[in-house]
Amino acid sequence: MRKIVIAGAVTAALSLGAVMPFESSGLVNPNKVEASVLATPLPVDLPLEYVSGVDEYGLNKSQYKINLGNRTGTLILKLYMTEKYPKNFADTLYADVKRNRASGFTLMDSDSAINPENAKGLAAFDRYSPIYGDGSVLPTFKYTSGFQNVGVNKKGERFIALGVYLNKKVNNGVYYLDTPNMATGHWKAKAYFYENVDAEKRVFNEVNRYFPLLDKVRWGVAELKHNQIGRLTMLKDTPLLKEIAGKFNTARTLKKGEQYRIYGYKEINGKGYYAVGGHFVEMNTNLAKYETPAKNKLRLVKILHEE
């Protein structure tokens, strides 16, 4: 075992009032909570491909390619402007999106930046962008079926949010994002997808809350916290230990059936202990059951807190 393993700077566990079977100082009904969790849509990551080429004027162009296959649902994109984007133009674009002015974001059915003659278009993300209708030669104008918004993530980074509910497959599920200034490297983009769910309006309204999540990430009946690596379920009444000068004293007793969030563990004098907020619980499978969350849940927590 490694000497010390701490996930993040925090090793605090739950106080008695925050023991996992209790939230908001009340006993949670597991059946009720689990039913609610199952009804809450959660997105999946979408891989993005950067497609580059030369347009009819000999200019280098590139755009993001998105492949949904046979899936329908709500497509969400989170766009960060890189340092290659001119600062003054970036600020103007951000302000335009915030005010719902025309900004030129469009979801296309072809690589429109490189081969504009093939583009018929699908949906624009602002009030005044052109959308080609079936059989049209010239673009028609209408209010978009998608949304655009702006937000700030938990790290203080500004982003432009785009989303649209796709209720049918177009172009074999392959789409392209047309954005202002298609030069390679101007955008850092993340894509997420709510399959078989129309989450467009709700995500738009919650862009600065859990975007692109619609709820907290739950593991069983409790929220999975940032930097949490596991949970401990007491199999027996077990001492919660406090270390003083290499020796342990019992701070109190953890009761059988209680659960605690674990943020790290530590080796002391050759023996392993779970870190419980400045206190410790012996690593002993007869005393407590330790579990780790599924990778997809950890990924959702990372989306929530780091993206």
Look at residue 216 in the predicted model and tell me its pLDDT. Answer: 83
Is 60:52 a contact under the CB 8 Å cutoff? yes
User: Is 205 strand, coil or helix?
Assistant: helix
List the Cα angle 153/157/160 in 5-degree steps. Answer: 80
Q: Please, which residues have CB within 8 angstroms of residue 133's CB and are 6 or more apart in sequence?
A: 140
Q: What is the pLDDT of residues 117-151, one digit of tens each?
A: 777 777 777 644 444 344 444 444 334 568 888 99
Q: Are strands 259-262 and 264-268 parallel, antiparallel or unpaired?
A: unpaired
Question: Which residue type, as a one-letter code, is found at position 86?
Answer: P
Report the C-alpha gap between 199 and 40 in whole angstroms: 11
DSSP E strands, 14-59: 22-23, 26-27, 44-46, 48-54
DSSP category for residue 122: -
Give backbone dihedrals phi and psi of 90, rounded to 5 degrees, phi first. -60, -45
Q: Which helix (H) or strand (E) holds 93?
A: helix 87-98
Look at residue 132 in the predicted model and tell me its pLDDT. Answer: 39
CA distances from 300 to 23, 41, 216 (A): 21, 12, 9
Which of 201, 219, 224, 193 is CA-nearest to residue 37? Answer: 219
User: Is 272 strand, coil or helix?
Assistant: strand
Q: Please, which residues have CB within 8 angstroms of residue 135's CB and are 6 or more apart in sequence?
A: none
Look at residue 126 in the predicted model and tell me its pLDDT. Answer: 64
Q: Which residues of the chain have pLDDT under 70?
A: 1-40, 126-145
Question: Which residue type, as a one-letter code, is found at position 18?
Answer: A
Report the C-alpha gap between 80 and 191 in whole angstroms: 12
Q: Which two tokens stand for residue 13?
A: 């566990």
Q: Which two tokens stand for residue 293?
A: 């969350």
Query: Which residue(s) pair with 94 in the sheet?
Result: none
Look at residue 72 in the predicted model and tell me its pLDDT. Answer: 93
Q: Please, which residues have CB within 8 angstroms of residue 256's CB and are 6 or more apart in sequence?
A: 234, 235, 236, 237
Look at residue 236 in the predicted model and tell me its pLDDT. Answer: 93
Alpha helices in 106-247 (DSSP H): 200-205
Look at residue 36 in the predicted model and tell me its pLDDT. Answer: 41
Look at residue 23 in the predicted model and tell me its pLDDT. Answer: 33
290 burial type by CB count under 10 A (0-12 exposed, 13-18 middle, 19+ buried) = middle
Look at residue 214 in the predicted model and tell me its pLDDT. Answer: 81
User: Is 171 strand, coil or helix?
Assistant: helix
